[in-house]
Amino acid sequence: MSHPLTGSYPSPSNDSGRIGSLVETDTFWLWLFGGYFILHVGVRLATGGALGLDEAEILLDARELSWGYGPQLPLYVWLQWLVFQITGPGLLGLSLLKNGILLATVTALYLTIRTRQNPVVAGISILSLLMLYQFSWESQRALTHTVLANLCSVLSFAVIWGLIRNPTTRGYVLLGVVMAAGGLSKYNYSIALIAILLAALSYPETRKPFLSARILLSAGLAALLMSTPMMWILNNQAIAFESVRKLDMADDGLTLMTTAQGLAELVLAALGFVALLLLVMGFLWLVHRRQATSIAADDLLRFMLRTVFWALVLMGLLVIISGTTNVKDRWLQPSLLFAGPAIVLWLSPKIRQSGIRRFSQISAGLAVLIVMGMLHHNLAGNAKRAAPFAVLTPQILEQTPPESMIVAHNWLAGNMAYLAPDRPIHSDRDMSLTGPILRVWEVGRKAPKDIDPASVVTLTAPYRFDDGEVMSLSFAPAIK
């Protein structure tokens, strides 16, 4: 038998034939994806140690349910709280949730592509995500809310694609639920959602379901589900929009220079997002390209490409209107995630099966490198996850009255709360604390203003696997 990418397989009577037949099944690819993310859970648990920046923040927030959590939207924290009710607060729950969301993301995208492609084509296109380093590496190294926004973006794409194929009332209800989930995951999800809708509306063959009155059902349901958290945001705008400063918006109004700089940053960020994939696929096309053949138009591929196009247009307009000059490629994830599979689906028919095999081998090599890189990231030198909190936290607690509330930066507070869950430990962004407070900060950072310098105590300990690197924490009672 044969298919567009892998050509003909030998007879199933030999090993290579059995392997070839297995690759042609959904079961193979779904187990492959599942095994990869289970491996990452195992690596995180095996390396143990301290919490990373985002892990510490989530552990702090997920100790209780709330309608809002500072500048971050609440859905990821709610999910983490739910997982912690089963696993307890710790690395298992943190890693299971993140990798479960990542697995759900690639599975949903795979199944969407399967509506138009066979398992091999769909599976190979999903391997492209390994070459989008913001997704494959950064999502493991850090990131929480962005990981959920990616899933909601992919689910929105899948549901909208389903409505294009078969508009049902159930589909409109599902879209409303997914829109609400995305709206409660991360603010940049909205760019992805609008881009997907514009991609549908901009083509005559796909716009009809979104001109139906039933789309109001989706919008109304989403608004209803999001209403209470959005009210919290409106009532706490100073806290909720604190992260807007990351955009470096121009204070002196829009100028041609700031606009040009912002658009240049956007172009560089977008190119950087897909640079490795374009480099690999471009090289394979040059070396293994097949003679020109007639390729049938793929409506799903066109829909993906239009989504990416509209996302870039929307981001460009946002840059121009806001005057921002700071565009990070990780902010583009929910919108540009579709670019990886789209590039592979577009170029792979132009590449011989030998080139596709090389692509699979490169992808496998990258998967191994990412796992090995995570081991290094978790253990080496002064890595955040190798910080000696297990040594320093008990020493600080021994010198702290049990009734004192320990207040520190998210990373410090989260790690101390992880090791001492029964002690009152809070982030320094919590402004509602009363009673005796002990300030804790990392040496080298600016000391709190409300302390007596004469009362400062400093403790030092080496990092887990490098005695040449040390961590120093200072603490002192806050002056009332």
Q: What is the pLDDT of residues 368-413, one digit of tens each?
A: 999 999 999 998 888 999 999 999 999 999 999 988 999 999 999 9
Q: Which of 324, 329, 340 is nearest to 258 (CA)?
A: 324
* Alpha-carbon span 409 to 56, nearest angstrom: 10
Q: What pLDDT was estimated at residue 480?
A: 76
Q: What is the pLDDT of residues 129-149, one digit of tens each?
A: 999 999 999 999 999 999 999
Asked if residue 46 has pLDDT above 60, the reply is: yes
Average pLDDT over residues 19-46: 92
409 C-beta neighbours (distance < 10 Å), count = 17
* Alpha-carbon span 376 to 383, nearest angstrom: 9
Asked if residue 38 has pLDDT above 90, the reply is: yes
Task: Pick the range with the lowest mean pLDDT from 207-216, 261-270, 285-294, 326-335.
Answer: 285-294
* Alpha-carbon span 351 to 252, nearest angstrom: 51
Band the pLDDT of 334: cuts 50, 70, 90. Answer: very high
Asked if residue 455 has pLDDT above 70, the reply is: yes
* Alpha-carbon span 342 to 340, nearest angstrom: 5
Q: What pLDDT was estimated at residue 2?
A: 40
C-beta separation of 422 from 406 below 8 A: no
Query: Per this entry, what is the length of the chain?
Result: 480
Average pLDDT over residues 89-106: 97
**Per-chain mean pLDDT for the chain:** 90
Band the pLDDT of 326: cuts 50, 70, 90. Answer: confident
Q: What is the pLDDT of residues 428-441, one digit of tens each?
A: 887 677 789 999 99
Band the pLDDT of 248: cuts 50, 70, 90. Answer: low
C-beta separation of 25 from 140 below 8 A: no
Q: What pLDDT was estimated at residue 433?
A: 77
Asked if residue 255 has pLDDT above 80, the reply is: no
Question: Which phi and psi (to 5°) does residue 46 adopt?
Answer: -65, -35
Band the pLDDT of 8: cuts 50, 70, 90. Answer: very low
Q: What is the pLDDT of residues 154-195, one digit of tens each?
A: 999 999 999 999 999 999 999 999 999 999 999 999 999 999
Percent of the chain with pLDDT over 90: 76
Q: What pLDDT was estimated at residue 6?
A: 44
Q: Which of 342, 359, 335, 340 is nearest to 298 (CA)?
A: 342
Average pLDDT over residues 117-125: 96
C-beta separation of 386 from 52 below 8 A: no
Band the pLDDT of 236: cuts 50, 70, 90. Answer: confident
Q: What pLDDT was estimated at residue 9?
A: 34
C-beta separation of 410 from 427 below 8 A: yes
60 C-beta neighbours (distance < 10 Å), count = 26
Q: What pLDDT was estimated at residue 113?
A: 97
Q: What pLDDT was estimated at residue 325?
A: 78
* Alpha-carbon span 234 to 239, nearest angstrom: 10
Q: Cβ-count burial of 144 within 10 angstroms (0-12 exposed, 13-18 middle, 19+ buried)? A: buried
Q: Cβ-count burial of 308 within 10 angstroms (0-12 exposed, 13-18 middle, 19+ buried)? A: buried
Q: What is the pLDDT of residues 280-318, one digit of tens each?
A: 999 999 999 987 665 556 899 999 999 999 999 999 999
Band the pLDDT of 7: cuts 50, 70, 90. Answer: very low
Average pLDDT over residues 335-340: 96
Of residues 329 and 156, more confidence is placed in 156
Asked if residue 253 has pLDDT above 60, the reply is: no
Q: What pLDDT was estimated at residue 431?
A: 67
**Any idea where the domains of the chain sit in the sequence?**
18-378, 387-477
